[in-house]
Chains A and B, each alone.
Chain A
Amino acid sequence: MSASAQEINNLINQEYKQGFVTELETDTFPPGLDDSVIHKLSKIKNEPEFMLEYRLKAFRHWQTLKSPEWAFVNFDPIDYQSISYYSAPKRKEDGPKSLDEIDPQVLEAYKKLGIPLDEQERLAGIAVDAVFDSVSVATTFKGKLKDVGVIFCPISEALRDHPDLIKQYLGSVVPHTDNYFAALNAAVFTDGSFVYIPKGVRCPMELSTYFRINAANTGQFERTLIIADEGSHVSYLEGCTAPMRDENQLHAAVVELIAMKDAVIKYSTVQNWYPGDKNGLGGIYNFVTKRADCRGDNSKVSWTQVETGSAITWKYPSCILTGDNAVGEFYSVALTNNYQQADTGTKMIHIGKNTRSTIVSKGISAGKAQNTYRGLVKVLKSAENARNYTQCDSLLVGDQCGAHTFPYIEVKQPSAQVEHEATTSKISEDQLFFCQQRGLSAEDAVSMIVNGFCKEVFKELPMEFAVEAQALLGLSLEGSVG
Chain B
Amino acid sequence: MTTALASPYAAEYQTIASGLPGQELPWLAALRSEALEKFSEQGFPSLRQEEWRYTNVSAIEKKLFSPAATVAGRSIDKAWLKLYQIQDAWSVVLVDGHFSAELSDLDELPENVLIMGMTEALIKQSETLEKYINKAVNAEEHGFIAFNTAWFTDGLFVQVAAKQVLAKPIQVMHLSTKPEVLTATRTVIVIDQMAEANIIETFVGLDNAYLSAAVAEVFVGQNADLTLYKTQFESEKAYHFSGTYVKQERDARFTHHNFALGGLLARSDLHTELGQASECELNGLYLGVKRQHIDNHTRINHLKPHGISRELYKGVLDDRARGVFQGRVIVAEDAQKTDSQMNNRNLLLSSDAEADSKPQLEIYADDVKCGHGVTVGQLDEKSIFYLQSRCVDEEIARNMLTFAFANEMVDKIKIKELHDMILEQVLTRFPQEGVNKEWL
Interface residues of A (CB under 8 A from B): 70, 379, 381, 394, 396-426
Among A70, A413, A426, contact of B348 (Cβ-Cβ < 8 Å):
A413
Given contacts A419-B374, A425-B368, contact A412 B354 (CB under 8 A): yes
What separation, in Å, do the CA atoms of A408 and B351 have in the docked complex?
20
Whether A420 pairs with B362 at a CB distance below 8 angstroms is no
Given contacts A396-B366, A397-B366, contact A424 B374 (CB under 8 A): no
Chain B residues near A424 (CB-CB < 8 A):
361, 363, 368-371
Chain B residues near A398 (CB-CB < 8 A):
366
Whether A414 pairs with B351 at a CB distance below 8 angstroms is yes
25 contacts between A and B (CB under 8 A): A396-B366, A397-B366, A398-B366, A399-B333, A401-B366, A402-B363, A405-B361, A406-B360, A407-B359, A410-B355, A410-B356, A410-B357, A411-B346, A411-B355, A411-B356, A411-B376, A412-B353, A414-B349, A414-B378, A417-B375, A417-B377, A420-B373, A422-B361, A423-B371, A425-B368
Whether A420 pairs with B370 at a CB distance below 8 angstroms is no
B 357-401 contacts with A by CB, 8 A: 357-378
Given contacts A397-B366, A399-B336, A402-B363, contact A414 B348 (CB under 8 A): yes
Chain B residues near A381 (CB-CB < 8 A):
351-352
Give the number of A-B contacts (CB < 8 Å).
115
Among B348, B363, B366, contact of A404 (Cβ-Cβ < 8 Å):
B363
What separation, in Å, do the CA atoms of A418 and B356 have in the docked complex?
11
Mask, B174-215, CB within 8 Å of A = 1, is: 000000000000000000000000000000000000000000
Given contacts A411-B346, A413-B348, contact A420 B374 (CB under 8 A): yes
Which of B50, B333, B365, B369 neighbours the largest number of chain A CB atoms within 10 Å of its CB? B365
What separation, in Å, do the CA atoms of A70 and B51 have in the docked complex?
12
Chain B residues near A426 (CB-CB < 8 A):
366-368
Chain A residues near B359 (CB-CB < 8 A):
405, 407, 420, 422
Tell me whether B87 is interfacial, beta carbon within 8 Å.
no
Majority SS of interface residues in chain A?
strand
Shortest distance between the CB of A409 and any CB in chain B (Å): 4
Listed from nearest, the 6 A-B pairs whose CB atoms lie closest are: A414-B348, A396-B366, A417-B377, A420-B374, A405-B361, A409-B357
Shortest distance between the CB of B294 and any CB in chain A (Å): 15
Shortest distance between the CB of B368 and any CB in chain A (Å): 6
Shortest distance between the CB of B210 and any CB in chain A (Å): 29
Chain A residues near B365 (CB-CB < 8 A):
396, 399
Which residue of chain B has its CB nearest to the CB of A420?
Answer: B374
What separation, in Å, do the CA atoms of A413 and B377 have in the docked complex?
9
Which residue of chain A has its CB nearest to the CB of B318?
Answer: A414
Shortest distance between the CB of B168 and any CB in chain A (Å): 41
Shortest distance between the CB of B374 and any CB in chain A (Å): 4
Tell me whether B128 is interfacial, beta carbon within 8 Å.
no
Which residue of chain A has its CB nearest to the CB of B336?
Answer: A399
Whether A409 pairs with B378 at a CB distance below 8 angstroms is no
Shortest distance between the CB of B273 and any CB in chain A (Å): 19
What separation, in Å, do the CA atoms of A404 and B364 have in the docked complex?
8
Whether A404 pairs with B360 at a CB distance below 8 angstroms is yes
Interface residues of B (CB under 8 A from A): 50, 333, 336, 346, 348-378
Chain B residues near A416 (CB-CB < 8 A):
348, 376-377
Which residue of chain B has its CB nearest to the CB of A424?
Answer: B370
Whether A421 pairs with B378 at a CB distance below 8 angstroms is no
Whether B369 pairs with A411 at a CB distance below 8 angstroms is no
Whether B374 pairs with A409 at a CB distance below 8 angstroms is yes
Which of B333, B348, B352, B376 neighbours the largest number of chain A CB atoms within 10 Å of its CB? B376
Chain A residues near B372 (CB-CB < 8 A):
405, 420-422
Shortest distance between the CB of A179 and any CB in chain B (Å): 16
Shortest distance between the CB of B352 and any CB in chain A (Å): 8
Which residue of chain B has its CB nearest to the CB of A408?
Answer: B358
What separation, in Å, do the CA atoms of A231 and B25 have in the docked complex?
76
5 additional contacts (CB under 8 A) given A414-B378, A424-B363: A399-B333, A399-B366, A404-B361, A413-B351, A414-B349
Chain A residues near B355 (CB-CB < 8 A):
409-411
Given contacts A399-B333, A410-B354, contact A418 B377 (CB under 8 A): yes
Which of A399, A402, A409, A416 neighbours the largest number of chain B CB atoms within 10 Å of its CB? A409
Whether A425 pairs with B374 at a CB distance below 8 angstroms is no
Among B356, B364, B370, B376, contact of A417 (Cβ-Cβ < 8 Å):
B376
Whether A420 pairs with B375 at a CB distance below 8 angstroms is yes
Given contacts A417-B377, A419-B374, contact A411 B354 (CB under 8 A): yes
Shortest distance between the CB of A7 and any CB in chain B (Å): 15
What separation, in Å, do the CA atoms of A426 and B336 have in the docked complex?
11
Whether B374 pairs with A394 at a CB distance below 8 angstroms is no
Whether B369 pairs with A425 at a CB distance below 8 angstroms is yes
Chain B residues near A422 (CB-CB < 8 A):
359, 361, 371-373
What separation, in Å, do the CA atoms of A418 and B371 have in the docked complex?
17
Chain A residues near B353 (CB-CB < 8 A):
412, 414
What separation, in Å, do the CA atoms of A418 and B357 have in the docked complex?
11
Shortest distance between the CB of A354 and any CB in chain B (Å): 15
Which residue of chain B has its CB nearest to the CB of A391?
Answer: B373
What separation, in Å, do the CA atoms of A102 and B421 have in the docked complex?
82
